[in-house]
Structures are given as structure tokens and as C-alpha cells.
């Protein structure tokens, strides 16, 4: 019998974080004396329209492939956001591939040239497992010079959790790091047999207690757009907006483009950073 432990752990985490009040099971005055904060298994089963035995087997990993209708029902009970709903579906129907590695990713020369031409905006391309595939000079100056790292260490998540400079760079480092761990968790659900991913997660789990905590929370995050507040040692405070764009023809590659609000102090500091780096341009391969 195939045991789906990832699905089991995710369901248990969702149940523990869904209160009876959230699910509409009972008002606060009725639930005050409960021994657990989250829902009971029988409550989840009733709300999802399945038997208690069926749901119990799901949480124990003994029923590994629930139907789309059951996935939708559980997502509704746990009030999952779209990214978490997609993650649940990935775990419910894991795609198993032959052991081994996909070929190394390469950024198309035209994309390399395009981000290199963006002299006023930091830009980088992330691939599988948040590997850094390319970065323009301004992104290297803003974050870190990926070209100085061994190829195997050019990974955004690894940098966030293991480099002290990354912790100092982001004013909201805990939320940034939690989102990055959630992004990696989302990728893991879609690629359960990625050996390099398992190696990365193992390394970070051992070396970073913060990563271990957020990874074990099973929360997922999908990168779309947002704001980063940063402190750069050379130019000071910078607030940037970013857009995450999946590249046509390669869904495993995402372009991150950073911009500052026109006329803002952050735009002035970004221009200073451009001048500061103009004599030392690098681009990650």
C-alpha cells in the first residue's frame, strides 16, 4: 500500500489551524472548553460530506488519491487560498517520475540580453527550487553577487536562510523568509521526486531553525507581486515593488522585476546604487 505522508501532514496542519468558529461549527462560548483549538476529524468529515473512516484514512496517508470533489470539499472546509488549494491537489495526485535529475536549466540568450539592458531596474530569473539562473548587475548589487558563489549554491532560498547579509538586507526578513519557504513547499508538492530539492531541504532543515519551523508549518506561497523594504549598506533604505512573470515557453523560469515609485527617496537611492555599481558589472550565467 502506498502511503501519502505529505498529504497526511498537510491535512493535519490544515485541520489544526481551522477553528470551529471559522468553519461555522459552533460559536465561541460553546467551543471555549474544547481541548483542541482546531476541528475534530468527525467535524471535518461532516462538513466535507465524507465518512469519518474515509477522512481518517486520508489523514493517516492510507488513502492517497482523493477525487477532485473531495479535494474541493476539503479546500472549502479549510478555507484554503488558491495557492494552498492547488497544493492540496498536487499532494492528492502526486506525479511520480523516474529517479534522476532533469537537465540543467539555461536562460535563453535573448532573455540574458534583455535583463542586462535593464540598467535602472534590478532583474533576476529564478528556476526550479528557486535556483538563480540569471541576474543583471543591479540585482547583484542589491542582493548578492551570485557569480561569486559556486554554481550549486546559487539558490535564492539558500541565500535567504544561510547568509547573514540577507537577514540584514530585508527590514521584514521574517515575512520574506516565511514566503520563500512557502514557495519552496509549493514547488515540492508539484515535484515530489526532485532529488536536488530533497538535498536543499535537508541542508536548510539542519542549518536553519527558522527554515525548519516554517517548512514544518506546511504553509504555501505563490509569488505574483509585492513590496520589499530593504536596507542597503551603500545607499540606505530602499522600498521596491516587484512583479513575478512566468517566462513563455518555460514555466519553470520566473522573471522578477523590481521598480521604485517615481519621485520617491527609494528611486533616488536606486539611482545611487546604479552609479555605485556602474564600474563593476556582472551577470550570473
Cβ neighbours of residue 251 under 8 Å, at least 6 residues apart?
Answer: none
Residue 245: count of CB within 10 angstroms of its CB: 15
> What is the pTM (predicted TM-score) of this model?
0.86
Evaluate whether 77 touches 23 at the Cβ level (below 8 Å): yes
Cβ neighbours of residue 73 under 8 Å, at least 6 residues apart?
Answer: 47, 48, 49, 50
Say what the pLDDT of residue 279 is. 57
Say what the pLDDT of residue 17 is. 92
Based on the number of CB atoms within 10 Å of its own CB, is 5 exposed (0-12), middle (13-18) or buried (19 or more)? Answer: exposed
Q: Which residue reads 526578513 in cell numbers?
A: 173
Cβ neighbours of residue 235 under 8 Å, at least 6 residues apart?
Answer: 269, 270, 272, 273, 276
Say what the pLDDT of residue 278 is. 76
Say what the pLDDT of residue 24 is. 85
Q: Give the alpha-carbon dihedral of 64, 69, 74, 80, to 10 degrees.
A: 110
Evaluate whether 189 touches 6 at the Cβ level (below 8 Å): yes
pLDDT one digit per residue (tens) for the chain, 285 residues: 567 889 999 999 999 999 988 888 766 555 555 677 789 999 999 999 999 999 999 999 887 688 899 999 999 999 999 999 999 999 988 765 544 567 788 999 999 999 999 999 999 999 999 999 999 999 999 999 998 999 889 999 999 999 999 999 999 999 999 999 999 999 999 888 899 999 999 999 999 999 999 999 999 999 999 999 999 999 999 999 999 999 988 878 999 999 999 999 999 999 999 998 875 444 433
| 177 φ, ψ (degrees, to nearest 5) | -65, -40
Say what the pLDDT of residue 101 is. 62
Amino acid at each position: 500500500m502506498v502511503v501519502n505522508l505529505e498529504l497526511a501532514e498537510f491535512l493535519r496542519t490544515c485541520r489544526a489551524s481551522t477553528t470551529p468558529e471559522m468553519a461555522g461549527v459552533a460559536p465561541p462560548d460553546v467551543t471555549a472548553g474544547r481541548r483542541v483549538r482546531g476541528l475534530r476529524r468527525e467535524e471535518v468529515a461532516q462538513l466535507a460530506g465524507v465518512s469519518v473512516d474515509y477522512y481518517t484514512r486520508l489523514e493517516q496517508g492510507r488513502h492517497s488519491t482523493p477525487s477532485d470533489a473531495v479535494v474541493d470539499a476539503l479546500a472549502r472546509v479549510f478555507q484554503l487560498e488558491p495557492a494552498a488549494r492547488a497544493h492540496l491537489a498536487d499532494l492528492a495526485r502526486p506525479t511520480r517520475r523516474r529517479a534522476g535529475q532533469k537537465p540543467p536549466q539555461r536562460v535563453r540568450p535573448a532573455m540574458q540580453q534583455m535583463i542586462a539592458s535593464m540598467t535602472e531596474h534590478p532583474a533576476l530569473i529564478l528556476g526550479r527550487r528557486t535556483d538563480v539562473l540569471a541576474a543583471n548587475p543591479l540585482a547583484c548589487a542589491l542582493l548578492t553577487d551570485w557569480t561569486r558563489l559556486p554554481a550549486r549554491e546559487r539558490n535564492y532560498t539558500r541565500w535567504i536562510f544561510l547568509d547573514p547579509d540577507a537577514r540584514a538586507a530585508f527590514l521584514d526578513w521574517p515575512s520574506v523568509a516565511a514566503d520563500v519557504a512557502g514557495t519552496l513547499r509549493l514547488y515540492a508538492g508539484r515535484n515530489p521526486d526532485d532529488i536536488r530539492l530533497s538535498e536543499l531541504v535537508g541542508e536548510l532543515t539542519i542549518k536553519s531553525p527558522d527554515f525548519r519551523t516554517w517548512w514544518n508549518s506546511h504553509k504555501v506561497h505563490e509569488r505574483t507581486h509585492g513590496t520589499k523594504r530593504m536596507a542597503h549598506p551603500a545607499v540606505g533604505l530602499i522600498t521596491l515593488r516587484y512583479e513575478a512573470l512566468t517566462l513563455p515557453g518555460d514555466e519553470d523560469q520566473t522573471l522578477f522585476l523590481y521598480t521604485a515609485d517615481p519621485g520617491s527617496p527609494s528611486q533616488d537611492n536606486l539611482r545611487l546604487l546604479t552609479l555605485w555599481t556602474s564600474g563593476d558589472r556582472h551577470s550570473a550565467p
